[in-house]
Structure 1
Amino acid sequence: MEHEGQVWLITGTSSGFGRRLVDAVLERGDRVIATARSLDKLKDLETKGESSQLRCLPLDVTSDYDEIKSRIDDAVAVFGRIDVLVNNAGFAMPGLLEEAGVDGAMQQFDTNYFGVVRVTTAVLPHMRERASGTVVIVGSRSAWKANIPDSHGGALGNYAASKAAVHAYGETLAAEVAPFSIKVLIVAPGLFRTEGIHAAPPYPGRLIAAYNSLRDVMLGRFATLRARTRGDIGDPRKAMSVVVDVVKGQGNAKTKKWPLFLVIGEDAEEDIRKYGETITGIMEEWGEVTRDTRMEG
């Protein structure tokens, strides 16, 4: 008899949101294929569930597509299907844009954007064949808060750009796969207390003397963030429980319509509302200029 629960494939489960999501899914009785670049980082996960409920597989989202496709085919063979794909693997590499340069941007996008594209492209044929599935993309409120040097986050311009790109990818994907009964959920969390919170070192690019003061401020802000444990820092366990609620239509999500975007965290809500107000204000002030571009005649 087929297991009645869903089968989740989650990338980036060695720590952070991914690790908490594995726990949340297992607690609901569903099955999980947990992936990470190295199985060594998943050894402790294997004690969290029965072999019939949890499997750990290696998956580096920056590998070439053929290798990723082979890994996904192996994952499908474990439980016979993938009902929910969670593109969680990602990282935030601080660095001022000019100093990080093209190489820094490419490194950030290779994981955060192209990693999502590679894995999703490999999974979609299996979902289309069954005319069922959910693709979850873990984005960020930073997509709406890219003026980071002026905020509490530090210089994360390439990170914000990669998340804005993956949001746009998810919006388009949602429209394209809807005819196959496949849903897309873009998760936009704020600041949460995870092991890797802003832990990546600055991109080791060239240092430009003109940015010395701004760089010092940025590094100081990251140090402050890493030291914070309470206050406006969100609980990642609660965040991932909300994600499971939405995917499964349980809890507070039971009576609500499917959201394309799932904003998580009071700080994320505040930042996104402010962004909307800013855009609305610009359109109101500059609307006459915006509209004064029609063809005559």
Structure 2
Amino acid sequence: MANNTKTPLVWLITGTSSGLGSALVASVLAHGDRVIATSRSLESIKHLETPDNTDFVRARELDVTSGAAVITATIAEAAGIWGRLDVVVNNAGMGYGGLLEEGGSDRLRKQFDVNFFGVMDVVSGTLPHMRAQKAGTIVFIGSRTAWKPEIPGYGASRGLYGSSKAAVHALADCLASEVAPLNIRVLLVQPGSFRTAIARQPFYTANPIAEYDPYRNLALTRVMTLMGTERGDPAKAMEAVVDVVRGEGSASGKKWPGNLVLGVDAEADVRAKCKRTLDNLDEWSDVAKAMDFDAN
């Protein structure tokens, strides 16, 4: 899956003002590729584009919640800069803190608007260009919280965030099967905890339910104690993503993964969830297999 052409790849990356997005821009440029860096605030990324580097970097404002028409137009303009889009990375995201019942569907809708529907709008704006050029790679930044959303804290109670990322995982898997015949690849990256400044909203406490006081207090405590102590290095994570897309470095000689788990904690959580699922299937196998109509 190596990039055998000498022509630099053109990447469009959302959410590049900080965290994984910022690290990915640096890694892509280090490999000699070109980047269209985007953020909902152009002010936060305008330093990336200078008169000396416009052959390799362009900065554009792109708010993934601005609606399909605006996003499609922005991507079309970006595709015209160098005449193609080789890699589009759906990295922009938001963490809305809060407990499920206390936040309700209103809080979930806010979370999904950014992390799911915004992602789909970017994909919809991207695919016409990749279909026309008969090639491309779409990268989704998912999360190990889709595998383990049940721990409070880590910047947000993970039920809201994890639900949105689980939806992204399903979206990525489905899209991969639909676009494979078109020579378009899909990569779902599933990082664990990395030391980044992910965009977070204040923890939602406007609808406190007394029975959840201990759980909420634990979540609020973890928000203050865990940030900045994560063991994952964002630069290493994004270097791995670039390696996979380009078929180089740590990806040399390996098959296209489709799903890329990053981080010791992420690997442990995925393995644990798989084991629990298989153990459950084993125990309930007789029930699962007894659902067919009785033979006449």
Q: TM-score, normalised by structure 2?
A: 0.94
The 8 Å contact of residues 199 and 226 in structure 1, kept in 2 or not, is answered as no
The 8 Å contact of residues 127 and 182 in structure 1, kept in 2 or not, is answered as yes
| C-alpha distance in 2 between matches for 1:199 and 1:74 | 29
Q: TM-score, normalised by structure 1?
A: 0.94
| C-alpha distance in 2 between matches for 1:137 and 1:45 | 23
Distance 1:137 1:237, change over 3 A: same
| C-alpha distance in 2 between matches for 1:213 and 1:203 | 15
The 8 Å contact of residues 40 and 61 in structure 2, kept in 1 or not, is answered as yes
Amino acid at match of 2:17: S
Kindly indicate whether residue 10 of structure 2 is the aligned counterpart of residue 7 of structure 1. yes
The 8 Å contact of residues 140 and 187 in structure 1, kept in 2 or not, is answered as yes
Selected match of 1:283 from 262, 281, 292? 281
* TM superposition shift of 1:205: 4.0
SS in 1 for 2:201: coil
- Equivalent position of 2:45 in the other structure: 42
Deviations along 1:32-84, one digit per CA (max 9) or x if unpaired, are: 00000011001222259711100000000001111111101110111111000
Distance 1:116 1:154, change over 3 A: closer
Kindly indicate whether residue 133 of structure 2 is the aligned counterpart of residue 135 of structure 1. no
| C-alpha distance in 2 between matches for 1:57 and 1:254 | 32
Deviations along 1:120-151, one digit per CA (max 9) or x if unpaired, are: 011101000111000000000111102224x8
After TM superposition, the structure 1 = structure 2 runs for residues 262-277 of structure 1, keeping only pairs within 5 Å, are 262-277=260-275
- Equivalent position of 2:195 in the other structure: 193
* TM superposition shift of 1:3: 7.3
* TM superposition shift of 1:227: 4.3
Distance 1:156 1:48, change over 3 A: farther
Out of 107-116 and 153-162, give the one that drifted further.
153-162
For structure 1, which runs of at least 5 residues remain unmatched after alignment? none
| C-alpha distance in 1 between matches for 2:7 and 2:26 | 18
The 8 Å contact of residues 91 and 141 in structure 2, kept in 1 or not, is answered as yes
Distance 1:153 1:41, change over 3 A: closer
Distance 1:20 1:49, change over 3 A: farther
- Equivalent position of 1:184 in the other structure: 186
The 8 Å contact of residues 136 and 187 in structure 1, kept in 2 or not, is answered as yes
Deviations along 1:66-122, one digit per CA (max 9) or x if unpaired, are: 111110111011111100000000022221000111110000000100111000011
Kindly indicate whether residue 239 of structure 2 is the aligned counterpart of residue 241 of structure 1. yes
Amino acid at match of 1:108: Q
After TM superposition, the structure 1 = structure 2 runs for residues 1-297 of structure 1, keeping only pairs within 5 Å, are 4-47=7-50, 50-149=53-152, 155-196=157-198, 199-203=200-204, 205-228=206-229, 233-297=231-295
| C-alpha distance in 1 between matches for 2:51 and 2:154 | 36
The 8 Å contact of residues 155 and 227 in structure 2, kept in 1 or not, is answered as no
* TM superposition shift of 1:206: 1.4
| C-alpha distance in 1 between matches for 2:74 and 2:120 | 15
For structure 2, which runs of at least 5 residues remain unmatched after alignment? none
* TM superposition shift of 1:199: 4.4
Considering only aligned residues, what root-mean-square deviation do their CA atoms show, in Å?
1.7
* TM superposition shift of 1:295: 0.7
Amino acid at match of 2:176: A
| C-alpha distance in 2 between matches for 1:187 and 1:48 | 33
| C-alpha distance in 1 between matches for 2:255 and 2:164 | 28
